[in-house]
Structure 1
Amino acid sequence: MTSEDVQRVRVGAVELAATTTGDPADPPVLLVAGLGAQLISWDDGFCRALADRGLYVVRFDNRDAGLSTHLGESPAEPAYALSDLAGDAAGLVDELGLGSVHVVGASMGGMIAQLVAIEHPDRVRSLTSIMSTTGDPTVGEASQAAIAALTAPPALTREAVLDGAVVANRIMGSPDHPMAADEVRARAGRAFDRAYDPVGFGRQLQACLTTPDRTEALCRLDLPTLVIHGAADTLIGVSGGRATAAAVPGAELLVLDGVGHEVPEGVWPLVVDRIAALVARAEERSTVGRASG
């Protein structure tokens, strides 16, 4: 965790935990975490790098993750859709008084970010979708090993969770940026100690699996968009990123060779540069739009 205090923000029926990094006077960037992930999945160093580029970084825990509201025992039917998680994100923007943000989402967070842009366009200045997909089942397909890791029975002990994280990293990590097993275990331990909710993970997974294809709606977007995807991603194949970039008019596509289903530290400088450049273009477009209006 950074030194910033965790804020508890009420958004409708849920309370979201959020932290901020940087100068509130700078353009705001909202980072949306992936399936089962917490705000700490966005590394402190990555957030500081964005802040050093003149961006105000907001991280938060989705419902059913981290320190945000958890819904308890799983119901028989899906408890919510990804649109509800997008509504949470848009509501957080409102409650923090940000007006609109540059939204950046990874994996499920990329799906949520896309939906914020589609369903709450006034809240979004630019969109960055990382290692995500459109919802079209014919793209972004996972390997059998990744599916097995994702759907394995939930671990019951801390040690089992850490062991599982090492196995998952071997399957989904980055061939050109390997992470030592001790570091994988340390990261998984921090997440476990902060919050562990396999039932909430299941509800988030249901939301992913029951959300319709977004391709047609993505084709109607009109905002600066960047799509980033690892060429070696085994959980959401790179075709998911290519399809996202192809759907959004004018979207940029950055494919990272040797990168799996993560944003490893070795590519932070490039990724931060590209996000900062997208924000700059979007801010300029917004300024021009206000001036012409």
Structure 2
Amino acid sequence: MMRKASSNGIEICYDTFGDRKGRPLILIMGLATQMVAWPEPFCRMLAAAGHFVVRFDNRDVGQSTRMERLYVPDVEALMAETAAGRQVWVPYTLLDMADDAVGLMDALKIDQAHVSGLSMGGMIAQVMALEYPGRLLSLTSIMSTTGEPDLPPSTPEAREALLSIPPAKRAGYVSHMAAIYRTFAGGSEFYDEKLQRELSGKAFDRGIYAPGFLRQFAAILGAGGRRHRLDQIRIPTLVIHGDCDPVVPLAHGQDTAAIIPGARIEVIPGLGHGTAFPGLWERMAAAIADHTAAASA
């Protein structure tokens, strides 16, 4: 059952899986993507492995607070500014979003947790590890990056898909998103388009909010690189990355694992970008569970 909690001055929509006495595991989703993109069967796998799983909608997405009082940035202009090496001003930052996650932990009376973030969620999780090291038992950075400009960019096809505008009606939206994630799959035979259509339909029914995409994308652009800080992390860290990710190429995950002391990388063949890869869930869930169990011990 989905509920809401007050956090950092806003409302965060969340739900949970598993026994409250299990290892607390906070799941943070990526850019403009709702918590339902953590598929329920995958969350149940994690719960069965001994976790108390919490998934939630980031601000500006799904049923969490829409930041309507904040301006809508010109992302193309921001991209040009960051490409030129100039600092940009954004409506809110990855740190604000990390504060949201910590505030949700406070609301749920979770003092410390294992934190797993996917794509932008991995960036937020990294910021949590830097700013709130006492609150994290472990970090898992999935399909994510240090944010450094010298790393390989998304493929042109993935970039075009990322910036495409979806149709306003449900059927068109679902088909559009299925095509986007087919591109994001990087040719993987494990991509399940039927599942992605189901996930995208659930997201549409909960509410799509286009300005949230722009503000979250701006937060990523405004963050810059974290390589110079990530070497300060002393929390047990696992990096999970696919070998055919065209959005955040494998080199980004390798860079993350190389810079965080003691980090281990799990490269999963056939994993693209997203969660509609059910044939790979067992390996991903097992890697996370082994990591959190070892960190707890």
**Fold match by TM threshold 0.5:** yes
- 8 Å Cα contact 1:101/1:123 also seen in 2: yes
**Matched-pair contact (CA < 8 Å) for 1:28–1:101:** yes
**Bigger mean CA deviation after superposition, 266-275 or 171-180:** 171-180
- 2:171 counterpart residue number: 159
Q: What runs of 5+ residues in structure 2 fail to find an aligned partner?
A: 74-89
In the aligned structure 2, how far is the partner of 1:197 from the partner of 1:240?
Answer: 28
Q: CA deviation at 1:186?
A: 2.5
Residue identity matched to 2:64: S
Q: How far apart are residue 159 of structure 1 and its match?
A: 2.6
Confirm or deny: 8 A CA contact 2:181 2:274 kept in the other structure. Answer: no
CA distance in 2, matches of 1:161, 1:221: 40
Tell whether the 8 Å contact from 2:166 to 2:176 is kept in structure 1 after alignment: no
Q: Which residue of 2 aligns with 1:288?
A: none
Match of 1:97 among 93, 98, 109: 109
**Paired position in structure 1 for 2:232:** 220
More deviation in 167-176 or 81-90? 167-176
The match for 1:120 among 132, 150, 159 is 132
Task: Specify the alignment match of 1:283 in structure 2.
Answer: 296
Conservation of the 8 A alpha-carbon contact between 2:166 and 2:177: no
Q: Does structure 2 conserve the Cα–Cα contact (< 8 Å) formed by 1:32 and 1:104?
A: yes
What one-letter code is carried by the residue in structure 2 that aligns with 1:225? T
Partner residue of 1:10? 6
Q: CA deviation at 1:169?
A: 2.0
> 1:58 aligns to what?
54
Verify the 8 A CA contact 2:245 2:271 in the aligned structure 1. Answer: yes
Aligned-partner SS, 1:99: coil
CA offset digits 1:48-79 (Å, max 9, x no partner): 11111111000110000111000126615521
SS at 2:54's partner residue? strand
The TM-score normalised by the length of structure 1 is 0.92
Structure 1 portions without partners, runs of 5+: 285-293
CA apart distance, 1:272: 1.1
Does structure 1 residue 208 correspond to structure 2 residue 220? yes
Q: Which moved more, 1:76-85 or 1:98-107?
A: 76-85
Check the 8 A contact 1:22/1:48 in 2, yes or no.
yes
Q: Distance in 2 between matches of 1:100 and 1:256?
A: 28
1:289 corresponds in structure 2 to none
TM-score, length-scaled by structure 2? 0.90
Give the aligned partner of residue 18 of structure 2. 22
Work out whether 1:84 is the aligned partner of 2:96: yes
**In 2, Cα distance between the equivalents of 1:151 and 1:14?**
27
Q: Indicate the residue corresponding to 1:48 in structure 2.
A: 44
- Aligned pair count reads 279
Moved over 6 A (4+): none
Bigger shift: residues 261-270 or 129-138: 261-270
Amino acid at match of 2:143: M
Q: Within 1, Cα distance between the matches of 2:199 and 2:103?
A: 29
The Cα shift of 1:244 comes to 0.4
Aligned to 2:190: 177
User: 8 Å contact 2:72–2:214 — kept in the other structure?
Assistant: no
Using the alignment, how far apart are the partners of 2:282 and 2:93 within structure 1? 34
Task: Measure the CA separation in 2 of the matches of 1:73 and 1:165.
Answer: 28
Q: How does 1:256-271 map to 2 (within 5 A)?
A: 256-263=268-275, 264-271=277-284
Which residue does the alignment assign to 2:34? 38
Equivalents in 2 of 1:189, 1:280: separation in Å? 34
Q: Secondary structure in 1 aligned to 2:148?
A: coil
Quick check: 22-31 or 160-169, which moved more? 160-169
Rounded Cα–Cα distance in structure 1 between residues aligned with 2:189 and 2:72: 42
User: Which residue type is aligned with residue 39 of structure 1?
Assistant: M
Deviations 1:87-133 (A, max 9, x none): 11111111111101000000100000111111111110100000000
Structure 1 counterpart of 2:258: 246
Tell me, in whole angstroms, the C-alpha distance in 2 between the residues paired with 1:68 and 1:57.
18
Match of 2:63 in 1: 67
Other structure's SS at 1:175 match: coil
Deviation at 1:140, TM superposition (A): 4.8
